[in-house]
Chains A and B, each alone.
Chain A
Amino acid sequence: MERSDEALLERVARRDDDAFDVLVARYRERAHRIAWSILRNAEDARDLSQEAFIRLYRSAGSFRGSARVSTWFYRILVNLCLDHRRRRRWWDRFVDSGSGAGDTALLDRLPAAGVHPDDDLARGETMSRVWSAVDRLSSHQRAAVVLQLEGLPTSEIAEALGCSEATVRVHLHRALAALRKSLRET
């Protein structure tokens, strides 16, 4: 049985639920991780990663094969996440600004995995600082960084974000410059 993404998606377009389940199992962890990395909210990450698969199911028939299935899917997912973030940003700023709780909330949202209790404090502080700075990047810069860390080449990040490779490089350049500044701050 053909198990390539493209073949599976073709079957999904014919409403083959087994093929859909295989595709979901193949990409759900990564989709959830990307959504979470962009949104930093467990509930939103769950909802939007599921929503991306629902859209994949419903629009499988419109896939034209000009990109890889995975890239096409990441584009659906990232668009959903960026839209969501855009809609929430205004309100979040309003609620968090000046409350003094914003930084605490951010630290709460930073998950502990990757820094074990016996890791040194400095590592934890670096993590807070650099990832707090990631939180402050523009949505596209942040998405570019997240997708880069997922191991996507610039060409695929460009397709996922719907922009040119040169634009992705500009996003990454600016993001890295901003993050470098956060690392230098003490």
Chain B
Amino acid sequence: MTARHVDAEVVPYVLGELASEDRARVETHLAACRPCRETAASFRTVLTELVATRAQPPAVHWSRWQAELRRKLDSRLERSRTPPHEREVAGPRHARLGWHAVPLALSGALAAVLLYLAVHGIGQEPRVPQLVGDPRPADLTLDETIAGRRLDMLRHYSVVERLDLLEDLDVIGNLDRLADVKEGRASAMAEG
């Protein structure tokens, strides 16, 4: 009874989501097919590990959290009641971006292209990196070479400076983080 493997049914089987008839059929197959049996057993082990080692998020002060939510909501509602020319800059970052979002997204994409060209050079490296807003799953791992070359790019301060000119708030905002993370490199970069 190993003619047809049960790959597509291993997950629902392990999760206990199969109807009894299908479950019986899968079990019959598993009894006769070692690869499928091992897959099912290993998936069960992984799920058990995930549950056993599952971490809880950092503790939250819920009344404070809810008060903050209320403040954000009120400010957003207030904003939507206020004519655009009378609005002050307020509320969460998403809301503040407003109509700036489109040019920002474009400048973000342009910045990404510039950085891509800076890293890979034109006509080299057929692999396309994950760009801003690119919905492709990107579970590719970076090899050492490319990682090293990306770091090299940090030394080209003109590229970073260009980002600043493009006023991409996301990128600029993250430059602070870059400085935190790479204190030494960041100061060298600023001098360079």
Contact = CB atoms under 8 A, between A and B. Distances in A.
Contact of B151 (A29, A98, A154): A98
A113 B54 CA distance: 8
Interface string A135-178: 01111110001001100011000000000001001001100111
A26 interface: no
B144 A98 contact: yes
Interface of B: prevailing SS: helix
Most chain B beta-carbon neighbours within 10 Å: one of A25, A98, A111, A130: A98
Contact of B56 (A53, A111, A166, A180): A111
A2 to B, nearest CB: 22
A173 B53 CA distance: 20
Given A54-B76, A57-B73, A91-B171, A138 B132 contact: no
Given A50-B68, A98-B142, A169 B8 contact: yes
A136 B50 contact: no
Nearest to A145: B50
Interface in A78-119: 86-87, 89-91, 93-95, 97-99, 101, 105, 110-115
A154 B11 CA distance: 10
B130 A141 contact: no
Contact of A113 (B46, B56, B62): B56
Nearest to A39: B57
Contact of A173 (B10, B45, B62, B181): B10
Interface of A: prevailing SS: helix
B148 interface: yes
A51 B94 contact: yes
Interface stretch (B23-31, B81-89, B133-141): B133-141
B33 interface: no
A115 B49 CA distance: 12
Interface in B26-53: 42-43, 45-47, 49-53
A91 B139 CA distance: 15
Contact of B60 (A32, A51, A141, A172): A32
A149 B51 contact: yes
A49 to B, nearest CB: 8
Given A51-B94, A127-B53, A148-B15, A138 B69 contact: no
B57 A97 contact: no
A126 interface: yes
B181 A101 contact: yes
Contact of B139 (A42, A87, A137, A166): A137
Most chain A beta-carbon neighbours within 10 Å: one of B112, B148, B151: B151
Given A51-B92, A90-B132, A95 B178 contact: yes
Please provide the 5 A-B residue pairs with the shortest distance between their CB atoms, ordered closest to farther: A98-B147, A138-B137, A36-B57, A127-B53, A113-B56
Given A29-B60, A127-B55, 17 more contacts: A24-B69, A25-B66, A33-B56, A54-B72, A90-B134, A95-B181, A97-B150, A97-B151, A98-B142, A98-B151, A101-B181, A101-B182, A113-B55, A134-B50, A169-B8, A179-B46, A180-B43
11 contacts: A28-B66, A54-B69, A54-B72, A86-B135, A97-B150, A98-B150, A149-B51, A149-B54, A154-B17, A166-B8, A179-B46
